[in-house]
Chain A
Amino acid sequence: SQELEQSPQSLIVQEGKNLTINCTSSKTLYGLYWYKQKYGEGLIFLMMLQKGGEEKSHEKITAKLDEKKQQSSLHITASQPSHAGIYLCGAGDSGGYQKVTFGTGTKLQVIP
């Protein structure tokens, strides 16, 4: 079965600083998703990557899927308190992505 390891497990940054979260898979990644979860709430969809080398951006968040499709990174530029939360990467199965395996999560705190 596929396993996703996220690093770091937790992160505390000063507002305005950049940061990167990594997601490493034990197998080839198909349909890699990034979500954000606030404590006690549901998951907010951020981005989906499918092709090796693909990069997507939304506002100050950029996600990349490496060429070999076994690692993805999420980069936040000029972090703000609103970015605080738990970031989860998820990998779809090789078929139709229906069964998503989630990573261990990265807890981000942004200090004003």
Chain B
Amino acid sequence: NAGVMQNPRHLVRRRGQEARLRCSPMKGHSHVYWYRQLPEEGLKFMVYLQKENIIDESGMPKERFSAEFPKEGPSILRIQQVVRGDSAAYFCASSPIHLQEAQYFGPGTRLLVL
């Protein structure tokens, strides 16, 4: 039973480029969450999605960041016109259909902006 999968594991971008991070939830999980871990900082919630719906994006920066979880395929976190401050580890988590269940995390994507 495969866990949460994220790719790429490492991503290097130059300032101004776009970054696309992918997350495939665990089998049977319909809830996806994105978190960001900045260097020397804690893990911060960004966005919570269900299939084709953004449920809570209160942690997303207002500009340049977007997320989607289409009917088919992985969830995508997209960062446009990256800046050095976007360098961080981005983690995806998923949980089963029922609420009040634990979230299971992927290995993360480490984004480095040059």
Which residues on A are within 8 Å of B, measured CB to CB?
31, 33, 35, 40-45, 48, 50, 88, 90, 92, 95-105
A10 to B: closest C-beta gap in Å: 13
Which residues on B are within 8 Å of A, measured CB to CB?
4, 31, 33, 35, 42-45, 48, 55-56, 58-59, 91, 93, 95, 99-108, 110
Contact present for A33 and B102 (CB under 8 Å): yes
A33 neighbours in B (Cβ, 8 Å): 102-103
Contact present for B100 and A99 (CB under 8 Å): no
CA distance A73 to B102 in the complex (A): 18
B interface secondary structure, majority? strand
Contact present for A98 and B108 (CB under 8 Å): no
Given contacts A98-B33, A100-B45, A101-B45, contact A41 B107 (CB under 8 A): yes
Contact present for B102 and A98 (CB under 8 Å): no
Contact present for B91 and A96 (CB under 8 Å): no
Given contacts A45-B102, A103-B42, contact A98 B55 (CB under 8 A): yes
Contact present for B100 and A42 (CB under 8 Å): no
Knowing that A33-B102, A102-B44 touch, tell me 8 more A-B residue pairs with CB under 8 angstroms. A40-B110, A42-B4, A42-B106, A45-B105, A88-B42, A98-B31, A102-B43, A104-B42
